[in-house]
């Protein structure tokens, strides 16, 4: 009987293990057309912090600042020499430093960055330096908005552009030689508290606020971890309960950020760039019943002057008689008729069939919006 009881216990353990494995497999089955939580939301307080600094780039091949026009470069250079105990003689204010340029340095300090780690920096000329190519940035403090120093920058610049000029004034410029980068050019000296390990809750901020997406996040988290674990604060934030122990909190967020959630449909928008003619139409754009005709009037003015020559041995002078030809051409344009619920594909297809230019499509979309027939937000940038 004892052996039989042990056998039943072993079978029960196997069944429980199998059921647990099946449940775990079901939990990680991805939702159709879903996105990872880490791709649509971020943890409140866990963000980049901007750093900025001011310094000098030296070693330029005669392409530095003209110190007579940028006196702050010379002032900065003199201050640097004073730190090394070198005093510039009075009356030397007209010194030309062709190999030195004043620059601004900026960088992003990522979350959880610790002292000793390195970050990339961008260096940009703020004087009249022609090129920073071949230069080296001297030691510079990078400060935050609070005035505290969070990193120290120094290193050789990597400049993608170049500038060349001939004696006759001819000049060629490729890309932007007055700015460059230093990969790993700054060393972190101070960490920024993130608040990740404080309190018994964490707030997830949606990258694109949407009530439907917030509800889907709450439903998925509560389905996985139990009712009441997640609560929607508003359309852009979800508050979730979290362990107090830091190591458990990391494991907890590892599970949450890989949870797949179906996002809500984006708001219907039409984006128009009037300078480049670029038009972006969202998938959910609809048009109410409307009819649009877009005419095109072309006015052509040509100048064909006539040269009047005087007769031989006459006292007349050669004269230029202007002659202008003005013509107008009105091109016939078809009428676009959109039925109820017309979609993006149908709008684009109808306009493309007549060979309309992007400017024509812009005018049509703006007219539909003014008439109240375009069921989307029209944004002109």
pLDDT tens figures, 249-266? 899 999 999 999 988 888
Q: Give the confidence band of 164 by pLDDT, cuts at 50, 70, 90.
A: low
Q: Give the confidence band of 143 by pLDDT, cuts at 50, 70, 90.
A: very high
Looking at residue 373, its pLDDT comes to: 78
Looking at residue 323, its pLDDT comes to: 62
| Of 49-63, 127-141, 350-364, the least confident | 350-364
d(Cα 168, Cα 163) in Å, to the nearest integer? 15
| Total residue length of the chain | 381
Mean pLDDT of all residues in 304-329: 64
Looking at residue 66, its pLDDT comes to: 87
User: Per-residue DSSP letters for 55-91?
Assistant: EEEE--SS-S--TTT-HHHHHHHHHHHHHTTPPPPTT
Tokens linked to 86: 């070198």
Looking at residue 231, its pLDDT comes to: 94
Query: Are the C-beta atoms of 13 and 78 separated by less than 8 Å?
Result: no
d(Cα 325, Cα 307) in Å, to the nearest integer? 16
Looking at residue 18, its pLDDT comes to: 39
Query: Are the C-beta atoms of 78 and 155 separated by less than 8 Å?
Result: no
**Does residue 9 sit in helix, strand or coil?**
helix
Res 95 pLDDT > 80? no
Residues 6 or more apart whose Cβ sits within 8 Å of residue 205: 41, 42, 43, 44, 236, 237
Looking at residue 15, its pLDDT comes to: 35
Res 83 pLDDT > 60? yes
Higher pLDDT, 155 or 17: 155
Looking at residue 170, its pLDDT comes to: 61
Looking at residue 197, its pLDDT comes to: 82
Looking at residue 112, its pLDDT comes to: 92
pTM listed for this prediction: 0.68
- CA torsion, ordered 254, 257, 261, 265, to nearest 10 deg: 180
Looking at residue 25, its pLDDT comes to: 40
Looking at residue 345, its pLDDT comes to: 66
Higher pLDDT, 32 or 67: 67
Query: Are the C-beta atoms of 171 and 165 separated by less than 8 Å?
Result: yes
Looking at residue 152, its pLDDT comes to: 97
d(Cα 155, Cα 137) in Å, to the nearest integer? 5
Q: Give the confidence band of 153 by pLDDT, cuts at 50, 70, 90.
A: very high
Beta bridge partners of 57: 101, 137
Higher pLDDT, 84 or 332: 84
State the residue for tokens 């079901």: 26
Pairing of strands 41-43, 201-206: antiparallel
d(Cα 82, Cα 367) in Å, to the nearest integer? 67
Max mean pLDDT among 127-131, 162-166, 295-299, 300-304 falls in 127-131
Mean pLDDT of all residues in 332-353: 65
Digit-coded pLDDT (tens) for 204-225: 999 999 999 999 999 999 998 8
Q: Where are the alpha helices (DSSP H) in 29-162?
A: 37-40, 71-83
State the residue for tokens 């996985």: 224
Mean pLDDT of all residues in 25-54: 78
| Of 91-105, 132-146, 239-253, 292-306, the least confident | 292-306
Q: Percentage of the chain with pLDDT > 70? A: 71
Query: Are the C-beta atoms of 196 and 256 separated by less than 8 Å?
Result: no
Residues 6 or more apart whose Cβ sits within 8 Å of residue 176: 160, 161
d(Cα 279, Cα 276) in Å, to the nearest integer? 9
What residue ranges define each of the domains in the chain, with the CATH number in brackets? 49-188 (no CATH), 197-264 (3.30.1360), 269-380 (no CATH)
Beta bridge partners of 237: 205, 234
State the residue for tokens 């057309």: 33
User: Cα angle at 136 between 132 and 141, to 5 degrees?
Assistant: 110
Query: Are the C-beta atoms of 166 and 100 separated by less than 8 Å?
Result: no
First CA to last CA distance, the chain: 83
Digit-coded pLDDT (tens) for 366-380: 887 888 878 888 888
Count Cβ neighbours within 10 Å for each residue of 304-339 and write b for 16 or more, e otherwise.
Answer: eeeeeeeeeeeeeeeeeeeeeeeeeeeeeeeebebe
Task: Return phi, psi of residue 342, to 5°.
Answer: -60, 135
Q: Which candidate, 145, 148, 135, 147, places its Cα nearest to that of 185? A: 135
Q: Give the confidence band of 233 by pLDDT, cuts at 50, 70, 90.
A: very high
d(Cα 101, Cα 74) in Å, to the nearest integer? 9
Q: Give the confidence band of 21 by pLDDT, cuts at 50, 70, 90.
A: very low
- Alpha carbon of 237 to those of 16, 194, 229: distances in Å? 37, 18, 14
Res 19 pLDDT > 70? no
């Amino acid at each position: 009987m004892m052996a039989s009881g042990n056998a039943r216990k072993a079978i029960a353990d196997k069944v429980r293990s199998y059921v647990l494995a099946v449940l775990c497999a079901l939990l990680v089955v991805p939702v159709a057309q879903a996105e990872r939580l880490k791709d649509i939301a971020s943890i409140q307080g866990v963000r980049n912090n901007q750093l900025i600094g001011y310094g000098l780039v030296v070693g330029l091949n005669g392409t530095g600042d003209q110190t007579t026009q940028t006196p702050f470069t010379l002032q900065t250079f003199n201050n640097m020499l004073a730190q090394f105990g070198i005093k510039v003689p009075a009356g030397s204010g007209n010194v030309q430093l062709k190999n030195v340029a004043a620059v601004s340095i900026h960088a992003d300090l990522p979350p959880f960055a610790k002292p000793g780690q390195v970050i990339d920096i961008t260096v940009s000329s703020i004087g009249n330096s022609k090129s920073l190519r071949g230069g080296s940035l001297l030691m510079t403090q990078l400060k935050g908005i609070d005035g505290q120093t969070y990193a120290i920058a120094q290193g050789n610049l990597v400049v993608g552009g170049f500038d060349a000029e001939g004696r006759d004034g001819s000049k060629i410029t490729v890309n932007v030689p007055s700015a460059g980068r230093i990969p790993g050019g700054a060393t972190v000296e101070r960490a920024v508290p993130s608040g990740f390990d404080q309190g018994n809750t964490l707030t997830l901020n949606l990258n694109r606020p949407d009530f439907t997406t917030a509800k889907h996040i709450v439903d998925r988290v509560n389905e996985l971890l139990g009712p009441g674990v997640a609560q929607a604060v508003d359309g852009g934030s979800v508050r979730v309960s979290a362990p107090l122990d830091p190591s458990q909190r990391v494991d907890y967020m590892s599970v949450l950020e890989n949870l797949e959630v179906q996002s809500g449909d984006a708001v219907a928008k039409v984006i128009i760039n009037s300078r480049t003619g670029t038009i972006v139409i969202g998938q959910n754009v609809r048009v109410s019943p409307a009819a649009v005709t877009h005419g095109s009037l072309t006015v052509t003015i040509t100048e064909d002057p006539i040269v009047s020559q005087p007769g031989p041995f006459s006292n007349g002078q050669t004269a230029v008689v202007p002659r202008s030809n003005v013509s107008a051409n009105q091109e016939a344009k078809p009428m676009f008729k959109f039925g109820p619920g017309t979609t993006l594909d149908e709008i684009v297809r109808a306009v493309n069939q007549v060979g309309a230019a992007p400017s024509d499509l812009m005018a049509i979309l703006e007219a539909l919006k003014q008439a109240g027939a375009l069921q989307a937000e029209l944004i002109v940038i």
